[in-house]
Amino acid sequence: MPTAIVAGGGIAGLASALALTQQGWRVTVLERAAVLGEVGAGVALARNGVASLQALGFDDGAIASIGTLSRAGGTFDLRGRPILALSEDVDGVTMRGVHRARLHGALLERVQERGVDLITGAQVTSPVPGVPGGAQAEVTADGITYRADLLVAADGVNSAVRAALAPVPQPVYSGYSSWRAVLDHTLDPPVLTQYWGPHAELGTMPIDDDRTYWYGYVKMPQGTLLLDEHLAASERFADWASPVRQIIAATPPGAVMRHDVFHLPGGMARYHHGRVVAVGDAAHAMLPTMGQGVATALEDGICVGKLVGEPVAAGGDLATALADYDAARRPRCRTIARSALASAIAGSHLGPGLQGVRNALMRLTPRSAISRGADAVMGWTPPV
């Protein structure tokens, strides 16, 4: 039975662990946090993310229990005027509004059922990549050395494994910070709605029948300290459309959190090194403006299982399998990351001078072009 160590117990790490166990691997997950879990934030899980969950063994009922069916309702300016409103007849914009903690919990339950060894409070250090066909990969955590046939780097944008084995590129601050909150609130209509203003964006999305997730993505110096996050968000969006002001006002102050947004420009030059394979933000942390971070992490996980785990378990060559994974994942993730950067430049990162020009041009966008663009990203299907 081949063995794997997964560094990181987030969504990418658990998806990878689950996919590998489905191919007969014995897996150990090392998570630096004392408790496995996710923060209280939402995710717009598009068709490709849903397809990944299906490939990981989730049936329609299990997926429905994770998140509510929704769609993209379009983009509006800060006054609430439509820039690019989307109706139900636009193809390719369906999604599920998901609470990250619920998705993470569902993955965690599956890996526990499959006997994955989950070790918390384990800070991974001193990774040794090993050699396909030769020495195993190894890491140290709390003075214990773990060795395996495969090491999965799933430890996020600040990956210790990546930093040790491939120190370029380094994470870069985007220039933007993001407020996030979940509250008891029913959206009408129950769709993902985005508002764009100078150097800012706010979005609202249902994550079940009576709960709503919102985020406020704004230009801000790195490391800014605010005494009252709720008050700061209220003041930042005080002159925006009524639905924006209302959703912030309805949010309990303690529910508002904020984090600086970092990304990995270009992603790793190669998603594998020795016996190490990188997934999720460790490989390709991208700006959140395409909403594809979680979906691509799930894609990576299923591809680790299908493109690496399956052929190696059948006696195939690990080096070839890792190269196949890289060839499948790196071009796609780089394309999505470039699209996210382009979306940011034209959207929330745009200053006040060109808002009107941008809005006028976007109103001319044919709906067929929207559907084609959505399908190019979200029409991904897992390898068979």
In degrees, to the nearest 5, what angle opens at C-alpha 44 toward C-alphas 43 and 50?
Answer: 105
Helix, strand, coil % (nearest 5) of the chain?
A: 40, 30, 35
The two tokens of residue 128 are 């040794």
Q: pLDDT of 66-82, one tens digit each?
A: 999 999 999 999 999 99
Q: pLDDT of 319-328, one tens digit each?
A: 999 999 999 9
> Could you give the strand order of the β-sheet that contains 137-141, starting from the edge strand earlier in sequence?
124-128, 137-141, 144-148
Is the confidence at residue 195, as pLDDT, over 70? yes
Burial 34-55 (b: 16+ CB within 10 A, else e): eebbbeebbbbbbbbbbbbbbb
pLDDT for res 91: 58
Chain centroid, CA 367 distance in Å: 26
Give which of 371, 375, 366, 377 is closest to 342, Cα–Cα: 377
Work out the end-to-end distance of the chain between its first and last CA atoms, rounded to an integer number of angstroms. 22
Is the confidence at residue 153, as pLDDT, over 80? yes
The pairing of strands 276-278 and 272-273 is: antiparallel
- Residues above pLDDT 90, as percent of the chain: 91
Q: How many CB atoms lie within 10 A of CB 340?
A: 20
Q: pLDDT of 78-98, one tens digit each?
A: 999 999 988 776 656 789 999
Alpha-carbon gap, residue 155 to 280, rounded angstroms: 8
Domains of the chain (ranges; CATH) run: 3-73+95-172+264-346 (3.50.50.60)
Mean pLDDT value of segment 219-224:
98
Mean pLDDT value of segment 153-180:
96
Is the confidence at residue 40, as pLDDT, over 90? no
In degrees, to the nearest 5, what angle opens at C-alpha 332 toward C-alphas 95 and 197?
Answer: 55
Mean pLDDT value of segment 96-116:
96
Mean pLDDT value of segment 269-284:
98
